[in-house]
Structure formats: C-alpha cells, structure tokens
Amino acid sequence: MTALEQYQRLEATGLWQDGPDVPLRDVIVSFGDATLILSDPRTDTPLAHWSLPAVTRLNPGDHPARYAPGEMDVEWLEVEDELMISAIDKVHRAIEASKPPSGRLRNVLMLTAAAAMVLAGVFWVPPALVRHAADVAPPAQRAEIGRLILSDIEKVTGSACSRPAGDMVRHKLAARLIGPDADIAILPATLRGARRLPGPVTVIGEDLIEGQVTPEVAAGHILAAQAAANAQDPLLQALRYAGARATFHLLTKGTLPAAALSGYGARLLADPPPRPDDEALLGYFARASVSSEPYARSLDPTGEAVLGLIEADPFRTAEPKPVLGDRDWIALQEICAQ
C-alpha cells in the first residue's frame, strides 16, 4: 500500500484563504489522485485541487500547520488535525523520495501527468458526484443497496428473525410508524438502537423487543432512525464507504461491485446511532402519535441528558394512540424465539 492509498479516506477540517483580503473559509481537506482537495463542507463541492508534489509547508514545526499550493502562491490553508498534518507530510516525503534523477525528470513528469489524466477520467469521482449518485438513485436501486447492507449485517448478527405471527406485526408496526411501503428487520442481537438503511428497511435488535414492557421504546428508536436518515442520507454514507470507483460503477452500470460494501455492516453497527436534533425528532413523535418520554428514558434513565425530549413530549398531558395492541406486542416479542 502506498502512502497515498493509506490515507485516501482521510478527511479533516481546515481554514482556507484564496488570496489577500479574502475572508477565511471553512473547508474539508482530503486526498485525491496526487492532489489535495479542498471542498465545501456543506455541499461537498470541490473548491480547489492542489498538486501534492508542489504543496509547500509555510511554517515547519509550528502548529497549526499552514500550507500553500506552491512557494510563490498567495493562497494558503491552515490545518489543526494532527493526523492530517502527519499524512500530508508523509505523502509529500514519499513523493519526494520517488522523484527520478533530474536528467529524466521532464519526460517522466510528462508521462505521469498523462497517465494521471487518463486514470482521473476513468476512476476519480469527486465528492459532489458521489452526492449526485445518492441524489439520483431510484427507489429500486436504493432498496437493492439496502438489501446488500442487510446481508452484510447478518454476517455479524445472524439472519433476521422471522415467525408468521411476528412478521405480520412487524409489517404492521412499520406501516404505523414509517409508511405503507416500509419494513423493519429484527436481528437476533443487541444493537442499542435502530439504523435506517437505504430503501425501505430499518433494522433493530431483539434488545428493543425482548424484556421491554411496552412497544414505545422500540417505536421511539425507529422514529429516531427516520429523523437521522432525513438529516443524513444513509445511501450517501454507504457510497462514501464504497468509494469513488464503486460509485462510478453504480452510475455507469446501475449496480455496485460485489465487494464494494463488504464490512460496511460491521462498521454501521460499531458506530452508535446518531441522535437527531430534539426539535426535529419531536415532530416525528407528534406525527406518529407516540410519546417521546419512554425513548428518552431508554437513553438516560435519570432524564438529565434528555430533558428536552421529556419536557416537550407531545403527549405529556394527552393520551397517544397505542403503538400496538397487547396481543400484537406479545407476538412481536416472540419473533426471535427458537
């Protein structure tokens, strides 16, 4: 693995000034093919591409590190992230060490530039195009990618639970909380929350079903997963993991390469589910006619860290619509029984 390949997924924040008297701008710093990419953090749109061989550190040894795209350039970039600083320095040293003798330098650089242009045209997909792939993906494509991720998750947790009576309630709960085309997969594992996959599927663990007195806790986590997915598209996250080449394959062939999402299921379960903004999440609870307090207490039994969800519970003084009847809840609790 080359130094550049080692850091191809690394990102960090930075401050960029595109010339004298130009206001400082927040950017995301990442590596491209022999380039340092500066992107808009809100849109992922590339703003500048700096040639790595030409990047110059303006303040060696000082922190935060300050870089310029060349020795005579007036624009500069400031980076505080130690790992990114180390990566830039390591990649730059590797490039310097690989330079050929000066007598052959011109020809080699010309050939390298030509090869880089060809490779860039074939393989390099900027962050904006990855976002575009997520934006234009039709429902069937999203659903297929969601199924691939679920299959990868099942390699870690075991196959999703299924019993005839429980399956009927599972579909009923999905329609009640999410919509008529939605689905909920219940896995025989402790997941400590719910994850919305691309497409119609939300996954939860049996820990939200077994041992719970009522279905309100599970319902709350399912609603939280919908709010989190609305704030951050799960397909976009999956494509970022799959990488540029796999995304290019998706755009041109309509499918991801077979191994593109290998290991993504384990990564998804290893990270705690994101907690949505309270105000947005409370809107989901209100629309679904579900009390937010049981969900909040499952996150923090003391209530201190979730006071906003408790005090602003849309059904604090009113009776919400039952999530499930008693018989349905019992059937759902038995869905993972052997």
Which is higher by pLDDT, 263 or 58? 263
Is residue 184 within 8 A of residue 202, CB to CB? The reply is yes
3-state per-residue secondary structure call for 7-73: CCCCEEEEEEECCCCCCCEEEEEEECCCEEEEECCCCCCEEEEEEHHHCEECCCCCCCEEEECCCCC
- Band (pLDDT 50/70/90 cuts) for residue 108 is low
Residue for token digits 């007598």?
103
Residue 8: pLDDT band (50, 70, 90) is: low
Output the average pLDDT for the chain.
Answer: 85
Structure-model confidence comparison of residues 247 and 197, the more confident one = 197
Q: What is the pLDDT of residue 118?
A: 45
Is residue 113's pLDDT more than 60? no
**Across the strands, what pairs with 243?**
none
DSSP3 helix / strand / coil % (the chain, rounded to 5): 50, 15, 35
DSSP H helical ranges for 178-277: 216-231, 234-242, 244-253, 264-270
What's the mean pLDDT in 64-92?
83
Instruction: Identify which of 228, 205, 219 has the alpha carbon closest to the alpha carbon of residue 276.
Output: 228
Asked if the bond preceding 64 is cis, omega within 30° of 0, the reply is: yes
Report the candidate in 38, 43, 46 with the shortest Cα–Cα distance to residue 17. Answer: 38
**Distance set, CA 153 to CA 93, 138, 184, 198, 200 (Å):** 39, 23, 14, 13, 16
Residue 274 predicted with pLDDT over 70: yes
Least-confidence region, from 31-40, 171-180, 244-253: 31-40
pLDDT of 125 reads 42
- Whether 117 has a pLDDT exceeding 50, the answer reads no
- What is the value of pTM for the model shown? 0.65
pLDDT at 111: 59
DSSP, res 301: T
Structure letter (DSSP) for residue 208:
G
Task: Compute the distance between CA of residue 150 and CA of residue 159 in angstroms, rounded to an integer.
Answer: 9
pLDDT tens profile 311-330? 999 999 999 999 999 999 99
Structural domains in the chain plus CATH codes: 3-123 (2.30.29.30), 131-333 (no CATH)
pLDDT at 110 over 60: no
Tell me the backbone φ, ψ of residue 169, rounded to 5 degrees. Answer: -70, -35
